[in-house]
Structure 1
Amino acid sequence: MQNRLLAALPAADYGLVGPYLTHIELERGRLLYDPGDAVDTVYFPLDGVISLMTLMANGAAIESATIGPEGALGLMAAVSPRQSLSRAIVQTPCRAVRISAMQLHEAWEKSPAIRQFVDRHTEALFGHAIQSVACNALHSVEARFCRWLLTCHDRISTNTVALTQEFLADMLGVQRTTVTAVARALQKRDYIRYRRGIVDIIDRPGLEAMTCECYGVVRRNYERLLPTTSF
């Protein structure tokens, strides 16, 4: 896989950022930002998933959006200095390239194409977050679990997702016992194979039939706003 934003840049515009990109391997569970942290580095995933978590004062958390090869983490720091509004944590092992926010800002000032992809990505991520609000409030845990698996599957190069019950419960905002019950129900339908800390996706069309409309809404929005060819 490759990062969709970087791949869409014309060669001259890519030349403004390419020399400053460095490759990094991000292990599952790695904390990249907490709320209030200065966003000094922008990450462009090549594969894998980064979760944006909204935190409550009592320690509760729920996922508000995910970022994968279609986008970037901390991209608005290209415009001006930013503080993180959420916790950014690596959800699956992730290969990425990164650049300092300052270096990306310098390229943003020079390149209309970079300014355009920052604007488009911001709109897509905002749409993702507000759709998640509605989904978490209105749809069943089973449908949301299927949406989450499909969203993750789109961003990785394997049918196997490694994660813990605790991590899944945080993603969905439910108890671990609820995660276990839903996973077992999907396994009985032969849609997934669920082992301790591992989910194997066996029947993707089955998951698509079980998920809610939010999966398609978010995916179409990204496809509309973030083209796969140069701007």
Structure 2
Amino acid sequence: MRRKGDRTTDGMLLLRGQVVTNRLIASLMPQDLSLLEPHLEPVVLTRGEVLFEPGDDVVATYFPAAGTMASLVLPLADGRCVEAATIGREGAIGGIVSAGNKPAFARAVVQMPGTALRIEAARIDEAKDRSKTLRDLFARYADALLAQVLQSVACNALHSIEQRYCRWLLMTQDRVGGSDLMLTQEFLSEMLGVQRTTVTASARILQEKGIIQYRRGRITITDRPRLERTACECHDMVRRHYERVMPAFKAKAVAEPEPQDDLG
């Protein structure tokens, strides 16, 4: 019988008999994992679920599993929303760096349903107080997340809708795995801050080039190398920065997700 926090023969982390696919948790050193593991609770997140709103006290941190993805969005006075960051299996949502009261600035909303590990933010603070290496890892992740936000500002200001569309598809595939993405054009238009007809036109161009296939509620990436070449440099810049500041990920095996079937 395996103990909590064991690893499989190929190095993948097991918690309570389940393979951990969140890269932050899977990269923890054993002594740091022992500080968090007793307080980690598996939860199921549903599409559209709001984890916190602007102004809320952030009392919980979520570590999405492979296939699960959430966005940090800024709601505007006219009812529109602008996406600031996308978070999946590579990271965590809420309460990573700040200590004490943590009023949220953005809304955290689940875009791709699935499982996650939940922990009280207060437990994160306690663990960081006891471990310099844990504190450093979460600070590094916060830097990587900030890089994504900053690059998004530049991308939204300078690059075409087609390039931004491709970047968003690449980010989504990185986080959920598999080639089939359960995304509607309406959803993508909201995330990109443009009209649905504009997104549909970009999708049609990419489909005609053989880069993607799309039908209602599903986009299939058929040629990732060409998708990367069509996207702007922003996706690759954020990815490379992430790899530089998160070296712990390279030392531990992380389970890859199964291809998606249905996320509805």
TM-score, normalization by structure 1: 0.95
Within 5 Å, give how 1:8-157 maps onto structure 2.
8-47=27-66, 48-76=68-96, 79-157=99-177
Structure exhibiting the larger radius of gyration computed from Cα positions: 2
Letter in 2 for 1:180: T
Structure 1: gaps (5+ residues)? none
- Offset, 1:78: 5.6
Letter in 2 for 1:67: I
- Offset, 1:69: 1.3
CA distance in structure 2 between the partners assigned to 1:221 and 1:131 by the alignment: 11
Structure 2: gaps (5+ residues)? 1-19, 253-264
CA distance in structure 1 between the partners assigned to 2:138 and 2:25 by the alignment: 11
**Comparing both structures, which one devotes a greater share of its residues to helix?**
1
Maintained 8 Å contact 1:78/1:102:
no
Single out whichever of 139-148 and 75-84 deviates more from structure 2: 75-84
Tell me the number of residue pairs that the alignment of Structure 1 and Structure 2 aligns.
Answer: 230
2:184 is matched with: 164
SS at match of 1:95: strand
Maintained 8 Å contact 1:39/1:77:
no
RMSD over aligned CA atoms reads 1.4
Single out whichever of 141-150 and 31-40 deviates more from structure 2: 31-40
- Offset, 1:217: 0.7
Aligned partner of 1:203 among 223, 234, 249: 223
SS at match of 2:61: strand
SS at match of 2:152: helix
Q: CA offsets, 1:49-71, max 9 Å, x none?
A: 21111221111212111111111
Q: CA offsets, 1:165-187, max 9 Å, x none?
A: 22111110100111111111111
Within 5 Å, give how 1:185-196 maps onto structure 2.
185-196=205-216
CA distance in structure 2 between the partners assigned to 1:198 and 1:125 by the alignment: 27
SS at match of 1:53: strand
Maintained 8 Å contact 2:156/2:164:
yes
Identity %: 48
Letter in 1 for 2:240: R
- Offset, 1:164: 2.2
Maintained 8 Å contact 2:75/2:107:
yes
Q: CA offsets, 1:66-108, max 9 Å, x none?
A: 1111110013366332111111111112321010011111111
CA distance in structure 2 between the partners assigned to 1:210 and 1:54 by the alignment: 27
Letter in 2 for 1:43: Y
Maintained 8 Å contact 1:78/1:104:
no
CA distance in structure 2 between the partners assigned to 1:53 and 1:153 by the alignment: 19
SS at match of 2:213: strand
CA distance in structure 2 between the partners assigned to 1:4 and 1:224 by the alignment: 15
SS at match of 1:134: helix
Letter in 1 for 2:64: P
